[in-house]
Structure 1
Amino acid sequence: MKKQLLVFLTICCFPFMLNAQMPERTPENIAKYKALCRTHIYKDMKGMYREAGGALIFPFLAPGSNQYLDMLWDWDSWLSNIALRQILLENGTEKDKQEALKYEQGCVLNSLHYGGMDGWIPIWIERNAPSREEMLKTRNPWKSNMHKPTLAQHAAFIVRNMNGDAEWLRDDFYTLQAFVCKYLNFHRHKATGLFYWETDEAIGVDNDPSTFYRPQGSSGSIFLNALMYRELQAMAYLAGCLNLDDIAVSFEKEAAVLKEKVQEHCWDPRDRFYYSVDLNLLPVEKPDIKGLHPGQLFLHVGQPRDYDCLIQRLSVWSGFMAMWAEIATPEQAKEIVRIHFHDTCSFNAPAGIRTLSPLEKMYNVHASGNPSSWQGPVWINVNYLVFRGLVKYGFTEEARELAEKTILLLGRDYERFGALHEYYLPDNGEPVLNKGFQNWNLLVLNMAAWLDGKPFVCEF
């Protein structure tokens, strides 16, 4: 009887067991799912287009799915635009490319419309959003997070695709400078030179444990600093395109200084990885001798701390961002790939890169929308950014592996559900949340084009 029951359960459950595994990484499967991804994405491309209206006075790009139906998001629109340009390169007419331009520029111009002399720009803007003035009545712009440092990069990406024509941006370039200078002047730790999140609100990688529920202003995030390094380089490029050469030089210098500071403070020679750092240290102060007895000892005066931050040895995917930003030295990149990319017990999963190593006690792949879950699940923007870092440093086989895994993951999602999702389980690729999510998932086409040896669009 037990044997018969076992056979019955095996027969009934076997299809489910098959569905719960990633497809085998064979040339036939890669070709099949690559074609499937292209077919669906070409057809659904304009699903990210949104027309002007309400608080959003320019057309723009939206992430897709019901949860993000009519909203402009900061780094989402930037990465979506990179995917959009790949679609247009492969399957767009000149008319299509010209039509897309107003949606691309609109992402930047809508954000700058909400900027001001103080530099603060919101992280997202809804169609029915209140005015900037109304927003600032309910928040302190100096003690809250703002648009991630991807706005200049987004503008630079568009300008580069326009062969260096930045005139559409000239009238708002002061506002863009004010935005970047707000980070430089008010969100940078003086002792280390690193940038920090004010809070853990809407940081993009929502519940990254190096920031999540930590004291305000304490997280010198490697994710944030890598983005900031490229943002400063983008500002230098844009200033040059506008013939503002002195301004370009100043941003180039800031970028060079930041690169040195990240290498100094965020590289861990023990683990051979880049980490976020803890800035939440008590100040070193002179003793106050009033009212104390002669000869009384003062705490720590013999040897106060001589370091300005502490490494947060949490195995978070964003350590790979040092390769994407080209902050890591070639020697460091080699160690990162050898030790961390290849570790299947940590980051390297069948579906791609785990956002947090399962060796961490905080590892959690439960579905969550507020905050989104970044404590283990696979996100396609992570796969893409890690892939780009691998390509930049010449790790071709590793880049191929990650691109193929991403194609299999999303191709199977299209095959089974006719749509993509926001994030996935690392070990079997099962979708977790938000059917219909497009956004940066469409970057799978950029990866596929690279695999095929065809022209591929990449970020600034």
Structure 2
Amino acid sequence: MKKTIWLLVLNIVIGGICQAQLPERNAVNIEKYREICKKHIYKEMKGMYRQAGGSLHFPFLAPGSSQYLDMLWDWDSWLSDVALRQILSDKGTEADKKEALAYEQGCVLNSLSYGGMDGWIPIWIERNAPSREEMLKKRNPWKTNMHKPTLAQHAAFIVKNMGGDAEWLREDFYTLQAFVAKYLNFHRHKATGLIYWETDEAIGVDNDPSTFYRPHGSSGSIFLNCLMYKELQAMAYLADCLNLTDISIFFEKEAETLKTNIRKHCWDERDRFYYSVDLNLLPVEKPDIKGLYPGDLYLHVGQPRTYDCLIQRFSVWSGFMAMWAQVATPEQARQMVQIHFCDTTSFNAPAGIRTLSPLEKMYNVRASGNPSSWAGPIWINVNYLVFRGLLQYGYEKEAREVAEKTILLLGRDFERFGALHEYYLPDNGEPVLNRGFQNWNFLVLNMIAWMEGRPVVTEF
């Protein structure tokens, strides 16, 4: 009997050790891990700097870790730069800022160097990448995904930090216009006006069930459309900075049109949340009268469908992107926070925002690298974008909650492993994959600056 009790106690103790938990969320721990985050990130910031060479003609920013050691990625470089500017705001000298500018601009210029009149730009570029012409021999630019609509946003972020000086971009602004116009002209659903993914390849949120293994050209992704809305606003800003007023007006009108379409088609009155939509519907067509004879019956002609898409009610984190992009109305934002952000059985986890609700059958937090797992684990860029969306609508208490959880998560990771990872388990914060991942994880500093009442660097 005594032996049985002893074994039971031992199992409980071992279980407690094996199942590490996040530190308690209190003022003492927040302060401790806040300083740990700052200390490590300030020291490691230049780990994202990469020199020009090979197919990358300009210096650039890389995500870090052995998985992404020498590659330029689309939205990674953009959000990494937002974090880099916070580091420079906190600790950088004028010389540091001048040095960093070449790497920032290089991210945009390297991507634009792979652009052309057709508008296609690759999602990532490796140092030994083939030429654009060679790339396009192996893919159809009209039927494959391209650089996410964050390129103009990245350029606008840099220009804004330069006080509106966009002259470094003038010679390549046509290429940037062609890129954005390709989305508008060839990846926009005619009936709804929404932008869609061509395939599920390299969409950033890899196995988001609203796109993953879905028919090609069928996903009107809320994630993609919110990015596109901000991209159009960024284009209007850049055109203004270049004194191209008529072009600015065009992109501003396109942005307002897209916002209207997102609100119309992606907002769900039943769930009070923004969702992606399914565009994979058969066309409404007139009957073929060839061979008509008395008694023929043509189904559905009396009342064909009157809707152009179907809401995909998958509880994916990207619904909160409507708050980040300020597409949601104030009342919609209130309902989203009250019903969805505050629900600890769904998105709200001890480590931050689950990328997929555990109430979904597709929920899965196991390690996966191809695709990366967005079916539940915590990603720091998600925590950050939700944090920013909450602040856009004045939900400071909720934003502080996300910030504190992120600080404890990453501070504890630094304390235990001396490095950060790519993504984490939602309930205990255990790292899942890719030690040494830097990238958008450094955005925790932007959260810390807000908490400390210091100047905060935000994306365009």
- TM normalised by structure 1 equals 0.99
Instruction: Please list every run of 5 or more consecutive structure 2 residues that lacks an aligned counterpart in the other structure.
Output: none
Q: Give the C-alpha shift of residue 399 in structure 1.
A: 0.2
For residues 91-102 of structure 1, what are the structure 2 equivalents within 5 Å? 91-102=91-102
CA gap of 1:90–1:309, structure 2 versus 1, over 3 A, is: same
In structure 1, what is the equivalent of residue 459 of structure 2? 459
Partner-residue secondary structure (3-state), 1:7: helix
In structure 2, what is the equivalent of residue 4 of structure 1? 6
1:355 aligns with 2:367: no
1:390 aligns with 2:390: yes
CA deviation digits over 1:29-76, x for unaligned, max 9? 000000000000000000000000000000000000000000000000
In structure 1, what is the equivalent of residue 37 of structure 2? 37
- TM normalised by structure 2 equals 0.99
CA deviation digits over 1:309-366, x for unaligned, max 9? 0000000000000000000000000000000000000000000000000000000001
Question: 1 CA distance for matches of 2:417 and 2:227?
Answer: 34
1:80 aligns with 2:80: yes
In structure 2, what is the equivalent of residue 346 of structure 1? 346
Question: 1 CA distance for matches of 2:99 and 2:124?
Answer: 24
Question: 1 CA distance for matches of 2:358 and 2:15?
Answer: 27
In structure 1, what is the equivalent of residue 411 of structure 2? 411
Question: 2 CA distance for matches of 1:246 and 1:29?
Answer: 53
Q: Give the C-alpha shift of residue 6 in structure 1.
A: 1.7
Q: AA paired with 1:389?
A: G
Q: AA paired with 2:172?
A: D
In structure 2, what is the equivalent of residue 54 of structure 1? 54
Once the two structures are overlaid, the 10-residue window that deviates more, 29-38 or 294-303, is 294-303
- How much identity, in percent, do the aligned residues show? 80
Question: 1 CA distance for matches of 2:10 and 2:23?
Answer: 25
1:15 aligns with 2:17: yes
CA deviation digits over 1:269-300, x for unaligned, max 9? 00000000000000000001211321322110
Q: AA paired with 1:251?
A: F
Question: 1 CA distance for matches of 2:253 and 2:153?
Answer: 17
Q: AA paired with 2:138?
A: T
Q: Give the C-alpha shift of residue 13 in structure 1.
A: 4.2
Question: 2 CA distance for matches of 1:225 and 1:11?
Answer: 49
Partner-residue secondary structure (3-state), 1:136: helix
In structure 2, what is the equivalent of residue 272 of structure 1? 272
Partner-residue secondary structure (3-state), 2:284: coil
1:296 aligns with 2:270: no
Partner-residue secondary structure (3-state), 1:125: strand
Q: AA paired with 1:386?
A: V
Compute the RMSD of aligned alpha carbons. 0.7
1:219 aligns with 2:219: yes
In structure 2, what is the equivalent of residue 156 of structure 1? 156
Question: 1 CA distance for matches of 2:376 and 2:50?
Answer: 32
For residues 400-439 of structure 1, what are the structure 2 equivalents within 5 Å? 400-439=400-439
For residues 240-389 of structure 1, what are the structure 2 equivalents within 5 Å? 240-389=240-389
CA deviation digits over 1:144-201, x for unaligned, max 9? 0000000000000000000000000000000000000000000000000000000000
Q: Give the C-alpha shift of residue 16 in structure 1.
A: 3.0
1:139 aligns with 2:132: no
Q: Tell me the number of residue pairs that the alignment of Structure 1 and Structure 2 aligns.
A: 458
Q: Give the C-alpha shift of residue 10 in structure 1.
A: 3.4
Q: AA paired with 1:26?
A: N
In structure 2, what is the equivalent of residue 229 of structure 1? 229
For residues 93-132 of structure 1, what are the structure 2 equivalents within 5 Å? 93-132=93-132
Question: 1 CA distance for matches of 2:101 and 2:159?
Answer: 11
Question: 2 CA distance for matches of 1:97 and 1:90?
Answer: 11
Instruction: Please list every run of 5 or more consecutive structure 1 residues that lacks an aligned counterpart in the other structure.
Output: none
CA gap of 1:11–1:301, structure 2 versus 1, over 3 A, is: closer
Q: AA paired with 2:258?
A: L
Question: 2 CA distance for matches of 1:394 and 1:127?
Answer: 43
Question: 2 CA distance for matches of 1:11 and 1:333?
Answer: 44
Q: Give the C-alpha shift of residue 226 in structure 1.
A: 0.1
Question: 1 CA distance for matches of 2:377 and 2:86?
Answer: 26
Question: 1 CA distance for matches of 2:350 and 2:16?
Answer: 20
Question: 1 CA distance for matches of 2:8 and 2:435?
Answer: 35
CA deviation digits over 1:409-438, x for unaligned, max 9? 000000000000000000000000000000
Partner-residue secondary structure (3-state), 2:72: strand
Q: AA paired with 1:383?
A: N
Partner-residue secondary structure (3-state), 2:165: coil
Q: Give the C-alpha shift of residue 230 in structure 1.
A: 0.1
In structure 2, what is the equivalent of residue 210 of structure 1? 210
Partner-residue secondary structure (3-state), 1:121: coil
Question: 2 CA distance for matches of 1:235 and 1:290?
Answer: 50
Q: AA paired with 1:9?
A: N
Question: 2 CA distance for matches of 1:263 and 1:6?
Answer: 56
